[in-house]
Chain A
Amino acid sequence: MTTLKVPKRLCIYTDADRRATLNFLSFLDNAISSGRVDIILDFTDVEYAGAAASVRLFAVISRAYFVKKNSNFIRFIWPKKNQNPAGHRYIVATGLSVALTANTSAKLDQLCEEKRFFQSAVEPFIHWANTLNVLDDKALLTFDQYLLVSSALSEAMLNVSHHAYEHPSFSSVINDMEGKRWWQCCWYNSEINKIVCIIYDLGLGIHDSFTSASPLFRGYDNTTSVSTALTLGQSRFVNAGRGNGSEDIKRPIGSGCADSETLLVFTGNVKYSYNSVHEVPKCELITEYMPGTLIEWSLVPRRGEDG
């Protein structure tokens, strides 16, 4: 067994943390895939784990259980509450530790039944309804917010189902994963008063998906393809029966409202962010590579009702 120490800050939001985190996660992914050694993943020293990095980690481990068809390749050492209360809170109290040990589809289904923050699924309609039940139960959103978030989630889940894995190279892993799988996290962070919803797939990524969809988009570089794909009115796509989900995905971000709400997308070497205060989307090249597509909505609950 080889012991791998998880970085103290498991985070992809800041430039300072992203490199170490994504490099670690790629190393872990490669080490698992190579199958040469079994791994002990040691979380003892983790002080902070951001939601997006946690979902990426969940996806790496979860996919490996399906592909390798056993769970003996990895063990975990969790942070202890009395020695590392912050690490315990981010890894254990959030349910990430339970998600990381969900090594069968039945255990993943159980995460959904228990309405845990971290979940994984392959059926958009069923899981969309379940996720909406969780959001509705918590009653954190206004009705208008709820309508917009439910549309956004439906389009993000359908995008996974329709487009994310549309390449012959994924046929084997789709079979292993029992479908076109995504991993997600929906939680309310009381410290910053934000609802965070994340949908992450391990598919092609927006750039490859977009540029392969039409000859018109071949030759687009990474940032141009992602920003174009997430721009309104891709008419040639619409007429091909796709292409307007990006409107739904951006709509929950309250344009012009006082509070800062953010849409964040990591895909390949691109980070795309859209903020309710600044309104103009920012699309930038990052040196680290993020396989697939991660979409994160960070929303202020019950916006406008307290003011």
Chain B
Amino acid sequence: MVNIVIARDFSKMPFGRYLSDSPNSAERFRRDYLVPALKSGDREVVVDFTGINHGVGSSFLEEAFGGLVRKEGVPKADIKAKLIIKSDLPFYKEQIIKFIDMASPEKQSLQRS
């Protein structure tokens, strides 16, 4: 099992969609943490929101998790089979699942995968 505690491993202030939005962007979180974890084998990947003392916006959640499908070409089934969300706020998990379901691979990510 891979355990990613966002506040400990990444930032206590995740913010924004793109690298240009902040040093703690979803794009960086996805590339540096989620993709390596999901591609490291069949292990479960626990993403833990505990300890983040600010609200995490939809744009961060969509780009980080929906972006796995849209931009990284990770199959939805793989993500859903491995990903475990830990959060006191239930709507983070609900949103993440929705964003993964709604996402479709972009052309570039299809070519990459």
Contacts and interface: CB of A to CB of B under 8 A. Distances in A.
Q: Do A and B form a real pair?
A: yes
Interface of A: 124-125, 128-129, 132, 146-152, 154-155, 158, 161-162, 233, 235, 238-239, 241-242, 244-245, 247-248, 251
B83 interface: no
B57 A158 contact: yes
A161 to B, nearest CB: 7
A147 B98 contact: no
B4 to A, nearest CB: 20
B57 A155 contact: yes
Nearest to A251: B91
A124 B54 CA distance: 15
Contact of A158 (B16, B95, B98): B16
B22 interface: yes
Contact of B102 (A128, A147, A158, A238): A238
Interface of B: 13, 15-17, 21-24, 54-60, 62-63, 66-67, 70, 89, 91, 95, 98-99, 102-104
A132 B54 contact: yes
Given A233-B98, A235-B102, A125 B21 contact: yes
Nearest to A150: B55
B70 A154 contact: no
Nearest to A129: B13
Nearest to A143: B53
Contacts of B24: 125
Nearest to A242: B59
A135 B13 CA distance: 16
Given A128-B15, A239-B104, A244 B55 contact: no
Contacts of B70: 239, 241
A299 B29 CA distance: 32
